[in-house]
Structure 1
């Protein structure tokens, strides 16, 4: 049995990783995606869509949509996962609000959309990957995809793809088609990086599905 000190260290490490991942993700979203109009799929892409058309800050819309997705899928998520996911969502909002107090801190990559797609994917992939690695989630995408998978009996990968493509299709209302192609690049690359960061240094578990605890 772990001592109280060991448990405290474990919690400190866990929530430290959540904060680090959320900071990296929000930094990339503000400095790359929002400045270059290379959008993301899922909840991240929807926050940019709402910011463009309604002027709503992702610092507000991101936690609102995330919490809605968490509530929708609450019965399919374990209590620890839910705590970590909500923490990451709130941390993202705080960090994004902080970055908004400053002008963009990275060079404008708008003239080089391919570079923006790759660099943006690095921030998303590493940021989300760190949080997923410790058993949490940076957004409501995971909860939403799990809910769709449960109701439709489709593979979880297909559910993620459907949500991403839906948001990218909506984004065509304000982003040129050529830039949406770059968004497809960043979505594909960030998804790959999330998986790599999550599994780095861990033995592969062939033929096993991720375990989702039921809420107590």
Structure 2
């Protein structure tokens, strides 16, 4: 879970941020709120995350929420360390297809590792997990739908080129998340997360 969180932070800073790729999920919604209504992104993110975390407490148990808090704090700490101390610059602005490919693969693996360990990295991840369990869709597919929807709406203020390549990264990430979560697991018709992850959270 910690490895997955660190990989996400590394990718978001060195690939997404450094190359101007947009944001989906709750972060993208918070930025959209800033653009449309001048709402504070920090407060908007909390307002979006908090009810989902509380819902997860009742549906998934305390252990899952604790894992999610650990993953989220690890992500924030490692991102801050990258921002403050990393000497690495990955300038791929002239090769955005490569940036989108790397972003999709690495964020997909990172998020998938966190999910396999029985946690999540934010309210939007939890929402995707809950919707996956109740809709019959694979979790990577739900991620793709939610993020791509936010990005399409965000086209009202985001640059078209970077947003389209971000959508490409989201589509790759969704497939990679599904592969990472399910790898080595026997398929189960009624569950859309590995049984081991389900069993851990059910006992919480």
TM-score after normalising by structure 2: 0.75
The 2-side partners of 1:33 and 1:104 are apart by 16
Look up the SS of the partner of 1:137 in the other structure.
Answer: coil
Shift of 1:78: 2.5
Shift of 1:145: 3.2
Matches within 5 A, 1:17-36: 18-36=1-19
Instruction: Please tell me whether the aligned partners of residues 31 and 105 of structure 1 are also in contact (alpha carbons under 8 angstroms).
Output: yes
Instruction: Please tell me whether the aligned partners of residues 88 and 137 of structure 1 are also in contact (alpha carbons under 8 angstroms).
Output: yes
Cα root mean square deviation, aligned: 3.4
Structure 1 residues 196 and 162, CA gap change in structure 2 (3 angstroms):
closer
Shift of 1:174: 3.7
2:76 aligned with 1:82:
no
Tell me the equivalent position of 2:171. Answer: 188
For structure 1, list consecutive stretches of 5 or more residues without a partner in the other structure. Answer: 1-17
For structure 2, list consecutive stretches of 5 or more residues without a partner in the other structure. Answer: none
Instruction: Please tell me whether the aligned partners of residues 63 and 90 of structure 1 are also in contact (alpha carbons under 8 angstroms).
Output: no
The 2-side partners of 1:173 and 1:37 are apart by 16
Instruction: Please tell me whether the aligned partners of residues 128 and 194 of structure 1 are also in contact (alpha carbons under 8 angstroms).
Output: yes
Q: How many residue pairs are counted as aligned between the two chains?
A: 194
Tell me the equivalent position of 1:205. Answer: 187
Matches within 5 A, 1:172-183: 172-183=155-166
Instruction: Please tell me whether the aligned partners of residues 108 and 176 of structure 2 are also in contact (alpha carbons under 8 angstroms).
Output: yes
Tell me the equivalent position of 1:106. Answer: 89
Q: Indicate which of 113, 118, 129 corresponds to 1:130.
A: 113
The 2-side partners of 1:82 and 1:111 are apart by 40
The 2-side partners of 1:159 and 1:122 are apart by 17
Matches within 5 A, 1:141-160: 141-145=124-128, 154-156=135-137, 160=143
Higher CA-based Rg: 1
The 1-side partners of 2:29 and 2:135 are apart by 23
Look up the SS of the partner of 2:146 in the other structure.
Answer: helix
TM-score after normalising by structure 1: 0.72
Moved more, 75-84 or 159-168: 159-168
The 2-side partners of 1:180 and 1:64 are apart by 25
Shift of 1:26: 0.6
